[in-house]
Amino acid sequence: MTGFLVVLALVALLVIVTLIKSVRVVQQQTVGIVERFGKFKTGLQPGLNLLTPFVDKVRYTIDMREQVVAFPPQGVITEDNLMVSIDSVIYFQVNDPVRATYEISNYIQAIEQLTMTTLRNIIGGMDLEQTLTSREEINEKLRYVLDEATGKWGIRVNRVELRSIDPPPSIQDSMEKQMRADRDKRAAILTAEGMRQSAVLSAEGQKQSAILTAQGDKESRILRAQAEREARILKAQGEAQAITTVFNAIHAGKPDQGLLAYQYLQMLPSIAQGDANKLWIVPSEIGDALKGLGSAVGQVAGIPAKAEGTWQAPDFGNGQVPEVESAAAPDAAVAEADNAVAEAIAAAQNAAVSTRSQQQTPPAVTQTPEPPVAPPSAEPPLER
């Protein structure tokens, strides 16, 4: 009885172990590599899988998710023989778990070594400035080379990132100085640009101000010119009306030739005293005017201008010639009139000579000749 129980216990234990060996649960995004007698048999998919107990064995479990591997900084020499330290990160994913298991023993280590070699090749063809400014280009080249090399391992490289590129300390100091110089340069450029824009705006404002000032001056001059023109027009109209009034008054008074000639002789000295008169011309009609003046004076004195009728010899009955005391009065009046005319002509000529001498010699104080005045004994001409 005791032996039977021992055998039964062993059979139960064997069944339990067989069940455990026959069932395998695989997690999501993982694949189990099954080997039978040391040879690849199949790949277990996520979920519950049955195996042949004591024959099939799960050798590896491959993670199918995208993985991130950060490598330690690596020293790389640039084309201009400068040592830079590059820290990189690789994003990859296993596409074929069978090849990732049997084509390469340790694909993570292989990717690390391949990354270092590829970085040396890429950075070795660039100088320091290109290395610092061409990160995207380096990432793309590195990803392309790694993806092509790891494709046969069942691995796809999705992205490569360079976290840092550190030049030597001496180069860093030089770069900092250069950066400070560049910042100072940009600051100076911005300051100069601001000053230029300020000067341009100031000049534009001055230009607009000058334009507005010129326009205002122009309008004011136009208004002054219009006002002056209207004033001159009004003045000319007033003078024309005054001349017309004087002309009408003169013609209404019906002056004779003698009065006009005498007034003309009185105005000659005043005409000669003008500063703008460079030359004084006595008209040729002055003789006719003087004749008219003489006839006017003769009429005023009671002397007829022309004898009328036929002259007859006087009859002195007693043979004595009467005294002609009364005849001396007309002769004296005529002589006084002639003297007045001569004085007027002399005054006009003296005024003309004085004006001509003032134009030829430095200015001097001269006495303006007064217009001729008729003698007290002469009577003014009568109006007709």
pLDDT single digits (tens) 193-214: 999 999 999 999 999 999 999 9
Tell me if 256 sits within 8 A of 296, measured CB to CB: yes
Distances from the Cα of 280 to the Cαs of 264, 276, 322, 346, 370, in angstroms? Answer: 14, 11, 52, 14, 17
Tell me if 9 sits within 8 A of 30, measured CB to CB: no
| pLDDT band at residue 10 under the 50/70/90 scheme | confident
Give me the chain's average pLDDT, please.
75
Average pLDDT over residues 160-185: 84
**Residues 233-266 pLDDT 10s:** 998 888 888 888 877 777 776 666 666 666 666 6
Tell me if 85 sits within 8 A of 148, measured CB to CB: no
CB atoms within 10 A of CB 307: 7
With 90 as the cut, is the pLDDT of residue 189 above it? Answer: yes
Residue 381 per-residue DSSP state = P
pLDDT of 302? 44
Tell me if 162 sits within 8 A of 135, measured CB to CB: yes
- What whole-number percentage of the chain has pLDDT above 70? 65
The pTM for the full model equals: 0.44
| pLDDT band at residue 227 under the 50/70/90 scheme | very high
Of the listed ranges 324-328, 332-336, 356-360, the one predicted with least confidence:
324-328
**Residues 24-73 pLDDT 10s:** 888 888 888 888 888 888 888 888 887 878 888 888 888 889 999 988 88
Tell me if 131 sits within 8 A of 142, measured CB to CB: no
**Which option is the CATH number for 67-167: 3.20.19.10, 3.90.79.10, 3.30.479.30, 3.40.50.720?**
3.30.479.30
Collapse the DSSP code of 295 into the 3-class scheme (helix H, G, I; strand E, B; otherwise coil) and give the result: helix
Domain boundaries, the chain: 17-63, 67-167, 172-253, 254-304+330-384
